[in-house]
Every structure is written in structure tokens, then in C-alpha cells.
Chains A and B, each alone.
Chain A
């Protein structure tokens, strides 16, 4: 039979691995502050301001990134308060506009009281302040400013090294799993011989 102390040790080892994995992810994520993500969050929060029950939370989330008033031209004339004011939204890759400023193209559909409304496209102008991005203006799109579904570039892309690294991690995981299975098998053999 398995001793509880052994089981506790295995659980502790698993927790250590999880903490290690958590730290690795934390460090891998550190330093990433994408304007595309900030633009998307802002638009989502602005859309939620009109949703019943979450107005205050949504306004606070939006104001941390930019003044909700900037989005006034995007809002539908009337909408169902059960839903966000935008039926969907998509942002494209940020284009450098100099002086810590980028332009992020977007497209969204308004959510009307009667259902999905017209398509709205445009570009958000964001300014970098330390590690954070703030929405400062809403502008018309310039040539070449497209989102992914219109044929534009993806907002971010995993580099080739990451794909190769994932394959290597997969191979290492397979080896570890193989070793664990063989170990369990040997201990089973020993137990059966002993009985």
C-alpha cells in the first residue's frame, strides 16, 4: 500500500513544479505591454458601459486606459441594455506613429436594440506613458491600416524559435512520461514478485 507521506511528498513535488511553471510564465510575460491589447480592452470596456448591472465597473476599466467620451462616435443611437453596445470587435497590428505614439486599426459592429447594427471601422491613437498605453484619440483609417480579417497582419505572432522550442518541450515531456511509466511498472513488478 502507498504511505500517506509518500503521497504528500508527490503532491508537494507537483506543487513545486507548478510554482516553478508559474514563475517561468511570469518572467516570460514580463515586459510585454502591447498597445493592441490596451486598445481592445478599452473598446470592450466602453461597450460594456451601456450594459445593465456592470456600468460602474466598465467605466472604471475604460477610464484607466482612456476617456470613454472618445468613443462617442462609435456608440449606437439605441441599444439593448442586456448586451454590450458592440456586438463584436477586432483590432489590428499597431503601426508606429513616432513619439511614443501608435495607431491601432479596429472594426466593430454596433449592437442595436433590434439586433446587430452597422459596421464601424477606424483607428485608435495610443500614447505610451511608462509601461502603460493610453487611448488619446479616435481617427479615420489611413491606407494600409487593416485588421487581420481584412487581410492585415496579425497583431502578434509566435516566432519560429517558439514553435521549435514547443516541439523540443513535447519531446522532453514524452521522455519524462516514459520514465515515470517505466518506474511505476518496475515498482509494480516488485510488488507482484513480493506477493
Chain B
């Protein structure tokens, strides 16, 4: 039985908090590090060291997210929101750098799981005609989370009595929303069907750790994983270093950087929505290729130009294409896998392949682009050179990625979806 429009709207509203706070939480840490450093009186070196366990939380999220194939999407999402809010709130009460690191690590674990399950729920609940648009809408809020941090910074929230801690207290909002609306959220119909099958002994009762790597699923897992990895290394390298690059290599003031991020990100977020519409209209593969090519071109322009006007439009378009590709990537990471393995596959793709880029991308740019000791010696050229890593990703999408436009999830049998080399339609 199809879900009513009203329920789907409510579901989307509830899931939006997951993506919004992913963007919000990641940006707090990036933009407020100097304030946190001052509060805890720690060196830059120690601050760098603490980033490693914090970001590893997203990797550990894999082990939580994969439980959604066993316990269900709904309970895992609800508990993830609870976990994220508790540890987000506790972060505001941190008493030293190590308590801060632990709370942020735990918060990341739940946030990563929440994000993965949210994507899976949209893919499973929305009918094919509206799925792409729903993904686009959902992921637009990830970008808006970043913009919210910029707005709060502009309003001077960090200058209040609570300093940076006030930003983490805002993270309690999703728990309040959920408290009132949780009873109206249902388990996904596809998972319910899968659970019934298990009860009748028709499906495997418990998925082993490596189930998503079984030969039947391996091709698409490797394929989607490599596309994610090749995009995430240059992408996260670029996003982590743009503000530094703009100030130190192009002479932007701090205010100019803030304005550029706010305005260009604000407009660039339309890229998510356009992506959702475009993948519905022309298909997943062509949309992904257009977005990948756009991201490479405008990122290279952004990190090479010295003209401020060109830089503004390049940033806007790099955000639009680079961040905006998320809906189609999320579709690849979920639609190509059958229900019983979908949660796990999405977790593998996101929490292993993508997070690897999240860790190594910024590190590569930092090491190779170091102004004193780096082999390349500047951030602009390093990011531009890394962008070339996206070219193999474009090739893989063009040559190997199956097309799922207009296909209901149930229409994709494992054999069909996993062995087809060219477009399915």
C-alpha cells in the first residue's frame, strides 16, 4: 500500500533534521576551532591530533548504521537522533579537550548513522516518481546547515556568554521535534515486508558483517564505492581548505570569506534541488556526469583565478555542482542494492569509502600544499591537481553505472541490477 502524501511530507520533515544537522555539526567544528582552542588552552598540534578520533566517529557509525537491516530503519533513526542530541548537548558542557573530543566522537557516530538511515528511508518510502526530488530536498538541508552556522557566526552567537558552546546547544532542537512527532513515523514498508519474510524463513535472519561483499552485490559495491572515494578526496580537500586558500593565497579578508560562503553557498544549494529534478527527468547517469564535470571545471577555476568576481561565481557553481551531486550519489548508494542489504551497502559506501576521502582529502592538500615544506607548496594548485581524481569517477559512471531512472526498487532484481554493465532501461 502506498503511503499518503501527508505522511511522506511529515517523514521528509523528520528526516530533514538528520541532514541539516550533519551539515551544521561539521561546519561548527571547522569554523569554531580557534575558539575551542582558546577555551581549552591547547596547542595547534594537539588540536590537529584530536580531529582524528573525532572524524573516526563517522567511520564507527558504519557499525551502527548496518544494524538498520536487522532492527529496522525507524528504531535506529530514533535512537541515533537521541544519541546525537545527547552527545551534542554534552559537548557544550565539555570541561577539557579530551572530554570535548570524546563527546564529539560519540556525536559523530550517531550523526553518521542517522544520515545513512535517513537516505535509506527516503529511497524506500517514496515512490519512484518523487524519490529523486525528495532526495534533492532532503540533501539541500545539509547545505543549509552550513549556512545556518555562517548566519549564527554573523550574528555573533560565539561572542555571547556561552561562546562556542551555544552552537552545540542548538543541536538539541531535533530531539524536541522528535519528541512530539516520533509516534507518527512508521517503519518503512519494504523493511516490514523483509521482516515478514524472515519470520516465515524466506530470508536470511541476520546479515553477516561482510554480507554486502558477497559476489552478487560486490560489483556495485566496489563501483559505487570507488565513485564515492574519487569524488570525496578532492571534494573534501577543497571544502576544508577554501577559506584558508582565499585568505592566505588570494588576500581575502575574514569578512569577505564569510560573505562569499554565505551568499555563494546559499545560491549554490539550489544545486541539490536541481539535481533531484534533473535525475528524475534525464536519469541518474547523465545527471551524475554533468555534475561531476561541472564540479571539476568550476573547482579548478575557483582555485586558480585571482579575479574576485570570477571567484564568487566559481564558488557558487562549484558548490552547486560539487555539493549538489549528493542526491544522485545517494541514489547510486541505495537503489542499486536489494532491501535486505540496502542499509549495509549504503553504510559501507558512505562510512568507509566516502569517509576515507573525508580523512585523506584534507590531509593530502595540507601536506602537499604546505607553504613551507609541501612538494607543491600551495593549496590552489594542490586542490586543482587532486580534482583530476574525479575524472576516473566520471569514466566509471559512463562506462559501468546502471541506470535506475523510473524503476521501482522491487523491479530491480539482484541479478539484473548487479550484473548489468550498461543502462538497465
B contact residues, range: 35 or more
Q: In the bound complex, what is the Cα–Cα distance between A51 and B44 (angstroms)?
A: 13
* Cα distance, A185 to B381, chains bound together (Å): 36
8 tightest A-B contacts by CB? A37-B372, A149-B251, A156-B377, A191-B215, A37-B371, A53-B38, A174-B392, A158-B381
Are A188 and B306 within 8 A (Cβ)? Answer: no
The digit string for A16-60, where 1 denotes a CB below 8 A from any CB of B, is 000000000100110011101110110000000001111001000
Is the C-beta of A63 less than 8 angstroms from some C-beta in chain B? Answer: no
| Complexed CA–CA distance, A169 and B385 (Å) | 10
Contact indicator B39/A166 (Cβ below 8 Å): no
Q: Does A142 contact B (CB under 8 A)?
A: no
Which secondary structure characterizes the binding site on chain A?
A: helix
Residue B367 at the chain A interface, CB threshold 8 Å: yes
Contact B248 A34 (CB under 8 A): no
A173 to B387, CA, bound (A): 13
With A53-B39, A156-B376, A162-B385: A173-B252 Cβ-Cβ less than 8 Å? no
Q: Does B219 contact A (CB under 8 A)?
A: yes
A174 touches B253 (CB 8 A): no
B414 nearest in chain A by CB position: A192
**Which of A38, A61, A173, A192 lies in contact with B392, CB distance below 8 A?**
A173
In the complex, what's the smallest C-beta–C-beta distance from A142 to chain B, in angstroms? 20
Asked if A178 is at the interface of the complex by the 8 Å CB criterion, the answer is: yes
User: A163 CA to B382 CA in the complex, in Å?
Assistant: 10
- Contact across chains for A28 and B368 when beta carbons are under 8 A apart: yes
How many A residues are at the interface, by size bracket? 35 or more
Q: Are A192 and B385 in contact (CB under 8 A)?
A: no
- Which residues of A sit under 8 angstroms from B222, Cβ to Cβ? 180-181, 184
Q: Using known A-B contacts A28-B368, A156-B377, determine if residue A87 contacts B214 with beta carbons closer than 8 Å.
A: no
Please, could you name 12 A-B residue pairs with CB atoms under 8 Å apart, sorted by A? A2-B210, A25-B368, A28-B368, A37-B377, A83-B34, A87-B254, A88-B253, A156-B381, A158-B376, A171-B391, A188-B418, A192-B419
In the complex, the answer to whether A170 meets B388 with C-beta atoms within 8 Å is yes
Stretch of B132-140, B319-327, B395-403 with 4 or more beta carbons under 8 angstroms from chain A: B395-403
Does B408 sit within 8 A of A, measured CB to CB?
no
- Establish whether residues B219 and A184, one from each chain, have CB atoms under 8 Å apart when the complex forms: yes
Kindly state whether residue A120 has any CB partner on chain B within 8 Å: no
- Contacts A149-B251, A158-B376 known; A184 to B218 CB distance under 8 Å? yes
A52–B159 CA distance with the chains assembled, in angstroms = 14
Could you mark each residue 210-243 of chain B with 1 if its beta carbon is under 8 Å from any beta carbon of chain A, else 0?
Answer: 1101111111011100100010000000000000
With an 8 A cutoff between CB atoms, is B37 at the interface? yes
Check A116–B253 contact: CB distance below 8 A.
yes
Bound complex: CA A37 to CA B376 (Å)? 12
Given the known inter-chain contacts A37-B371, A37-B373, please indicate yes or no for A181 contacting B226, CB distance below 8 A.
yes
Complex alpha-carbon distance, A192 and B211, angstroms: 15
CB distance from B155 to the nearest CB of A (A): 15
> Given the complex of chains A and B, what is the CA–CA distance between A170 and B376 in angstroms?
18
Determine whether the beta carbon of A116 is less than 8 Å from that of B251: no
CA distance A174 to B393 in the complex (A): 7
Out of A34, A147, A158, name the residue touching B372 (CB < 8 Å): A34
B189 within 8 A of A: no
Residues of chain A contacted by B41 (CB below 8 angstroms): 53-54
Shortest distance between the CB of A175 and any CB in chain B (Å): 8
| Contact between chains at B247 and A177 (CB < 8 Å) | no
Q: A154-B380, A178-B396 are in contact. List 5 more A-B contacts (CB 8 A).
A: A7-B213, A150-B251, A156-B376, A156-B377, A158-B382
- Pick the contact of A32: B219, B250, B372 (CB < 8 A): B372
Q: Is the CB of B419 within 8 A of A189?
A: yes
At the interface, yes or no: B255 with Cβ under 8 Å from chain A? yes
- Report if A148-B249 is in contact (Cβ < 8 Å); known contacts: A53-B40, A155-B378, A156-B378: yes
B306 nearest CB across to chain A (Å): 7
Write the nearest CB–CB distance from B90 to chain A, whole angstroms.
21
User: A191 to B216, Cβ gap below 8 A?
Assistant: yes
Given A170-B388, A178-B396, A181-B222, A29-B374 contact (CB < 8 Å)? yes
Minimal beta-carbon separation of A49 from chain B (angstroms): 13
Given A2-B210, A90-B249, A191-B216, CB of A170 within 8 Å of CB of B391: yes
**In the complex, chain A residues whose CB is within 8 Å of the CB of B5:** none
Q: With an 8 A cutoff between CB atoms, is A137 at the interface?
A: no
Per the bound structure, the CA–CA distance linking A87 and B253 in Å amounts to 7
CB-nearest residue of chain A relative to B381? A158
